[in-house]
Chains A and B, each alone.
Chain A
Amino acid sequence: MFDRLKAMLIKEFIQVFRDPRMRIVLFVLPVLQTVIFGYAVNMDVRNIPTAILDRDNSSESRQLAATMTSSGYFRITNHISSDNEAQALLDRGTVRVVLNVEHGFSQRLQRGETVPLQVLLDGSDSNTAGVIMGYLARLTTDYNISIRSDYSLRHLGQTLSIGQVELASRAWFNSNLASPPFYVPAVITNILFIITMLLSSMAIVREKELGTIEQVIVTPIRKGEFILGKTLPFVLIGYIDVILISLVGMLVFDVPLRGSLWLLFFATTLFLMSSLGIGLLISTVSQTQQQAMMSAFFIIFPTMLLSGFAFPIENMPQPVQWLTLLNPLRFYLVIIRGIFLKGIGIAVLWQQLAALTLLGVSLLGIAVLRFRKTLG
């Protein structure tokens, strides 16, 4: 019963692993990718390079600079003396913020006046700029409160109680707002998608391009056996990569695995039906590996970008949001993040699991029906 399948599998494994470079591509690169993702993808804004144009040069102005540095958000990298310098630093992108302390800063504060603090901000990266504005607002308020209580103590001789509001924030699921727990599951989904979909379609088309398929299709091998034989190796490689990436995530980046491992594997299997279905469909419409690769990329990019891995789906326009309902990666991502970060189970995820099943069964079904054991 399994003779033919076994023969196919042995052949496929020999072909895939004969080239040592292929082994690297299949097992080392996903890990490397995880590490880069884990470290590189970080929106935490700290140590913002800041220049200060201090025309006052007083203890008050120095104290202001010290307050900023001690907050941990800003790092004074340049002390400059002219507007031209400020312009050049911002142009070059060396600093993101320039503090402009006017002459007479300390005297006017001592007189109890309201002193403008001019800040130049590089707004090119609007998100970072927004965060920096928030930090500045917070710091100014703190600074104001401290100078006011100083002032009242000095001039009125009394300690004033100044009411203030503090925000005590608590992040659920990912208490220190670290990036890896969010992105490592996404790397799993992306790599799994690329390997199973792209490689399996290319491996099938390779037989067409090199002509070897002609000898295979005159044998009594069944369509199902051929398809399974071509795809199972990549499924297996996919599972190994899921395990590898999860291990790296858990050991190197402290990504928690809160939910059930079995559910993870179950969802992965459901997802593989979709991704292999797409891969098979591509192979039915391609004659050369180049065509297969291009068709695959045409699907990979929108599928990945519209999966919510970095760009929240809620922010997309409504029609695009509807479109994402056809995206198996979207559901798989929600499931896998849910399992890793939130430890939620079938009770919460049943909708996503159902959607994934529906997509998988229909994609794989169409692909298998369309797959023909004939030439041309």
Chain B
Amino acid sequence: MIIQLSSLTRCFGSLTAVDNLTLSIPEGELFGLVGSDGAGKTTTMRMLAGVLDYTSGEAKILGCNSRDLTVVQGEIGYMSQRFGLYPDLTVAENIRFYADLFDVPAAERIARTRRLLTFSGMAPFTDRHAGRLSGGMKQKLGLCCALIHTPKLLLLDEPTNGVDPVSRRDFWRILNDLRKEGVTIVVATAYLDEAERCDRVGLLHNGRLLACDTPQNLTKLVKSNQRAPSLEDVFVELMGEQELAVPQPSIPQPAEQQPGAEASSPAVSLEQISKHFGNFIAVNGISLTVPKGQIFGFLGPNGAGKSTTIRMLCGILSPTSGKGSVAGFDITAEPERIKENIGYMSQRFSLYEDLTVEENIAFYAGIYRLAPDKRSERTEWVIRMAGLTERRSSRANELSGGWRQRLALGCAILHEPSIIFLDEPTSGVDPLSRRRFWDLIRTLARGGVTVFVTTHYMDEAEYCDRLALIYRGELVAVGTPDELKKERAVDGVLPSLEDVFIGLIEEHDRT
């Protein structure tokens, strides 16, 4: 047995994050750990990696007590959720640093680096500073660093959050190769399609292991007589009981009509907008129109320029050239007017980690000047929407990744804006919450709110009214999901959105 856990428990104050976990993982297994937000996935992974001590029970990793893994540290690979890259080191230097720490022989290092860079599509960026990479690319670089040596045990904590589908596929190819070499892999993930590729899957909820079996056996747990139940159905079934009622959002007031902004004018319109960072062209002449009340999906691989475009729309980055307007206001001339009418949720968690949930909400309520009588109502609404009722006085840095995302979304729509920009709002959020998330988004849209969203989940892309695919800073395709599929239909069979996506990119590469 590579990992042997018996009655493993970890408490933080009065909170039991991991409760009586008993589990053993044999050599060569690919084990998936899934669970709702705050279920204890990260805490478990940290204890397995030996960076966090357990409160009681026992954990044996590679035959060693996990409280002191000094002897076997070189045999363990670990990728934390917020992979620590050095922003002032280049891509190659970051990889080299970890290779040296793990004593990877020079020849192996060179071969492996090349392979990792190719799979991740980062080969052209080896000399770029890590701080200048996009969020998804940082994640990929983190993976490369974690995979630079061949460990006996590889622990990956949500490694593909925010990674585009193409790279995710390549990433799993690498995991499969590693498994063939006999590496034991434990991966915590929010993507259930990924979990389905594992040998065994453990389902964590509130710190407890609810079920642990092969994906096939798990699907048999579904009582309803569906034909081919997926893991997601299992998940929903097992967790369903705990599901809290989704609070209905209050319907926001229609945006104030400003003189000059006609009622029929689009929520967002872009005309040949470009952004250059030095020699690097992040966004190259994009033109777009988004009518009011639409859910507009913005897709593209990591580093395609999605975040840059959103930041320009929000008025926090000024475009190099081109024109654009949001809510009827010019993005270069009147960014401050735009800010009064929009909500924005950035890709990177950007609430204050040293403030509690309530303090963060109160801060934004003050900044957005919510009327005092509305303040408590909206605060309660956000807390319930995010499912944080019990953790309202926890500090943000004590929250799990999925909870943080929910809190961030809550703060972004606290003031009921008429246009919302969401940059990968659901990365790392569990499937159930994602469903609720999208229910909420659709309700908002019905109430006339325009939603501009980026995502890497193709099932979410299906929910959008219209999609735009950008690649290397250029607009590749725009249309409704059905239109896009029909364009690439073969013999009347509609391809999946993922295939459309990959096909379009490959086509673009060829031209």
B368 within 8 A of A: yes
Known: A214-B348, A218-B344, A220-B339. A7 touches B316 (CB 8 A): no
CA distance A10 to B375 in the complex (A): 16
A7 touches B314 (CB 8 A): no
Please name the residue on chain B nearest to A209 by beta carbon.
B87
Q: Chain B at the A interface: mostly helix, strand, loop or mixed?
A: mixed
**Which of A11-19, A111-119, A122-130, A348-356 binds B?**
A11-19
Please name the residue on chain A nearest to B344 by beta carbon.
A218
Cβ proximity bits A1-12 to B, threshold 8 Å, 1 near / 0 not: 001101110110
Q: How far is the CB of B499 from chain A (nearest CB, A)?
A: 34
Please name the residue on chain A nearest to B346 by beta carbon.
A214
B475 within 8 A of A: no
Q: How far is the CB of B283 from chain A (nearest CB, A)?
A: 14
A215 touches B350 (CB 8 A): yes
B366 within 8 A of A: yes
Q: Residues of A contacting B53 with CB < 8 Å?
A: none
Known: A4-B367, A4-B369. A215 touches B354 (CB 8 A): no
- Selected contact of A3 from candidates B314, B316, B353, B366, CB within 8 Å: B366
Q: Residues of A contacting B314 with CB < 8 Å?
A: 218
Which A residues from 1 to 44 make CB contacts under 8 A with B? 3-4, 6-8, 10-11, 14-15, 18
A222 within 8 A of B: yes
A175 within 8 A of B: no
A375 within 8 A of B: yes
A216 within 8 A of B: yes
Q: Residues of A contacting B349 with CB < 8 Å?
A: 211
CA distance A3 to B335 in the complex (A): 21
- Selected contact of A375 from candidates B317, B369, B412, CB within 8 Å: B317
Q: Residues of A contacting B369 with CB < 8 Å?
A: 3-4
- Selected contact of B364 from candidates A6, A219, A375, A376, CB within 8 Å: A219
Which A residues from 203 to 225 make CB contacts under 8 A with B? 210-222
Known: A3-B366, A215-B344, A218-B339. A11 touches B316 (CB 8 A): no
A70 within 8 A of B: no
Q: Residues of A contacting B355 with CB < 8 Å?
A: 11, 14-15
CA distance A374 to B352 in the complex (A): 19
B350 touches A7 (CB 8 A): no
What band does the interface of chain B fall in when counting residues whose beta carbon is under 8 Å from A?
A: 35 or more
Q: How far is the CB of B450 from chain A (nearest CB, A)?
A: 15
Known: A215-B411, A219-B368, A220-B339. A7 touches B363 (CB 8 A): yes
CA distance A8 to B369 in the complex (A): 12
B440 within 8 A of A: no
B27 within 8 A of A: no
B344 touches A376 (CB 8 A): no
Which B residues from 147 to 181 make CB contacts under 8 A with A? none
CA distance A371 to B335 in the complex (A): 15
B351 touches A215 (CB 8 A): yes
Q: Residues of B contacting A212 with CB < 8 Å?
A: 350-352
- Residue of A15, A210, A217 ringed by the most chain B CB atoms within 10 A: A217
Q: Residues of A contacting B411 with CB < 8 Å?
A: 215
Which B residues from 293 to 349 make CB contacts under 8 A with A? 311, 314-318, 335-336, 339-340, 342, 344-346, 348-349
A373 within 8 A of B: yes
Q: How far is the CB of B416 from chain A (nearest CB, A)?
A: 14
Which A residues from 333 to 376 make CB contacts under 8 A with B? 373-376
Q: How far is the CB of B84 from chain A (nearest CB, A)?
A: 14
B352 touches A11 (CB 8 A): yes
Q: Chain A at the B interface: mostly helix, strand, loop or mixed?
A: helix
B29 within 8 A of A: no
How many positions in chain A have a CB within 8 Å of any CB in the partner chain?
Answer: 27
B365 within 8 A of A: yes
Q: Residues of A contacting B336 with CB < 8 Å?
A: 220, 222, 373
A10 touches B362 (CB 8 A): yes
CA distance A206 to B365 in the complex (A): 22
- Selected contact of B354 from candidates A18, A211, A220, A222, CB within 8 Å: A18
CA distance A4 to B318 in the complex (A): 24
Known: A215-B344, A218-B316, A376-B317. A10 touches B366 (CB 8 A): yes
Q: Residues of B contacting A14 with CB < 8 Å?
A: 354-355, 359
Please name the residue on chain A nearest to B415 by beta carbon.
A219
Q: Residues of B contacting A220 with CB < 8 Å?
A: 336, 339-340, 367-368
CA distance A374 to B275 in the complex (A): 14
CA distance A376 to B316 in the complex (A): 9
Known: A215-B346, A215-B351, A218-B344. A374 touches B366 (CB 8 A): no
Cβ proximity bits B117-132 to A, threshold 8 Å, 1 near / 0 not: 0000000000000000
- Selected contact of A374 from candidates B317, B350, B351, B367, CB within 8 Å: B317
CA distance A14 to B353 in the complex (A): 12
- Selected contact of B367 from candidates A15, A219, A376, CB within 8 Å: A219
A8 touches B317 (CB 8 A): no
Known: A10-B362, A210-B353. A218 touches B342 (CB 8 A): yes
A11 touches B363 (CB 8 A): yes
CA distance A86 to B345 in the complex (A): 77
Q: Residues of B contacting A6 with CB < 8 Å?
A: 366
- Residue of B340, B346, B354, B359 ringed by the most chain A CB atoms within 10 A: B354
Please name the residue on chain A nearest to B345 by beta carbon.
A215
Which B residues from 445 to 470 make CB contacts under 8 A with A? none
Which A residues from 182 to 239 make CB contacts under 8 A with B? 210-222
- Selected contact of B366 from candidates A7, A15, A214, A376, CB within 8 Å: A7
Q: Residues of B contacting A216 with CB < 8 Å?
A: 367
Q: How far is the CB of B312 from chain A (nearest CB, A)?
A: 10
B367 touches A373 (CB 8 A): no
CA distance A357 to B104 in the complex (A): 62
Q: Residues of A contacting B316 with CB < 8 Å?
A: 214, 217-218, 373-375
Q: Residues of A contacting B342 with CB < 8 Å?
A: 218
B366 touches A8 (CB 8 A): yes
Q: Residues of B contacting A222 with CB < 8 Å?
A: 336
CA distance A211 to B316 in the complex (A): 13
CA distance A220 to B340 in the complex (A): 5
Q: How far is the CB of B306 from chain A (nearest CB, A)?
A: 15
Known: A6-B366, A217-B316, A219-B368. A11 touches B359 (CB 8 A): yes
CA distance A235 to B30 in the complex (A): 57
Q: How far is the CB of A112 from chain B (nearest CB, A)?
A: 82
Please name the residue on chain A nearest to B372 by beta carbon.
A3
CA distance A6 to B342 in the complex (A): 22
Task: Please name 28 pairs of A and B residues whose Cβ atoms are closer than 8 Å in the assembled complex, sorted by A.
Answer: A4-B366, A4-B369, A7-B364, A7-B365, A8-B366, A8-B367, A10-B363, A11-B355, A15-B352, A15-B355, A18-B354, A212-B350, A214-B350, A215-B350, A215-B408, A215-B411, A215-B412, A219-B367, A220-B336, A220-B368, A221-B367, A222-B336, A373-B316, A373-B336, A374-B335, A375-B316, A375-B317, A376-B277
Interface residues of A (CB under 8 A from B): 3-4, 6-8, 10-11, 14-15, 18, 210-222, 373-376
Top 4 nearest A-B pairs by Cβ distance?
Answer: A7-B366, A215-B350, A218-B344, A220-B340
Interface residues of B (CB under 8 A from A): 277, 311, 314-318, 335-336, 339-340, 342, 344-346, 348-355, 359, 362-369, 408, 411-412
Q: A8-B363, A214-B348, A219-B368 are in contact. List 18 more A-B contacts (CB 8 A).
A: A3-B369, A4-B367, A4-B369, A6-B366, A8-B366, A8-B367, A10-B366, A210-B353, A212-B352, A214-B350, A215-B350, A215-B408, A217-B316, A218-B339, A219-B367, A221-B367, A374-B315, A376-B317
